[in-house]
Amino acid sequence: MSDFDYMRRQLLIAGGLTLGACLVPGMAIASPFKATNPRKISLCNIHTGEDIDSEFFNGESYIKTELKRIDNICRDFRRNEVAKMDKRLFDAITEIQANLGHKGQVRIISGYRSPATNKMLQKKGGVATKSYHMKGQAIDFNLEGVSLSKVRKAAIDLQLGGVGYYPKSDFVHIDTGPVRRW
């Protein structure tokens, strides 16, 4: 076996082990954003009036109890249903805040949305049939004291997923679906 073949085999094995480790339930997975820095977020749900301050990533792994608190504040308030939110949304928001020098509250307009709520909102218009909100993969928010256009630009710069701009409703939508914007 040549040196090239040996190295190629070792890289394939290492890649397979890494992928396999990511599939083990309950295993801590590092964040793609500044993996060595703890991340804190201050959230307010504008509909329920609830707010929390949370350190959801300690610099090495996500803190499950804090993610559950965040899931709760992002719940479908109309039906009081909680779903597991995609933690990459909160990584993205903290990255947006860091890029903008923002230290204030993140105001949640919509996090998780149950299928029943989504259907009801569809009848009113302007809500996607297969919304990422129903998967816990989308959040509509604004940042206290920051222009919405700056939040939108910072979100687009991340290239994480979808970015929607709703200045009349005073929020930016981000999701962890394909990269796109509207």
Q: Round the CA-based radius of gyration of the chain to a whole number and report it.
A: 18
Q: Residues of 24-39 as b/e, b for ≥16 C-beta within 10 angstroms?
A: eeeeeeebebeeeeeb
Q: What integer pLDDT is reported at residue 174 of this predicted model? A: 98
Level-2 CATH architecture, domain 39-181: 2-Layer Sandwich (3.30)
Beta-bridge partner residues of 52: 43
Provide the H-helix boundaries in 29-124: 64-73, 87-100, 115-124
The per-residue pLDDT for 127 is 87
* pLDDT digits (tens), the chain, 182 positions: 555 444 444 444 544 444 444 444 433 344 445 567 899 999 999 999 999 999 999 999 999 999 999 999 999 999 999 999 999 999 999 999 999 999 999 999 999 999 999 999 999 887 899 999 999 999 999 999 999 999 999 999 999 999 999 999 999 999 999 999 99
Instruction: Kindly list the domain boundaries of the chain, sorted by start residue.
Output: 39-181
Task: Give the pair of three-digit tokens for residue 106.
Answer: 């993140």
Phi then psi dihedrals of residue 22, to 5 deg: -70, -20
Question: Does the pTM exceed 0.85?
Answer: no
136: left (phi over 0), alpha (psi -120 to 50) or beta: left
41 and 67 Cβ atoms separated by less than 8 Å: no
Question: Taking Cα atoms as reference points, which of 88, 86, 82 lies closest to residue 69?
Answer: 82
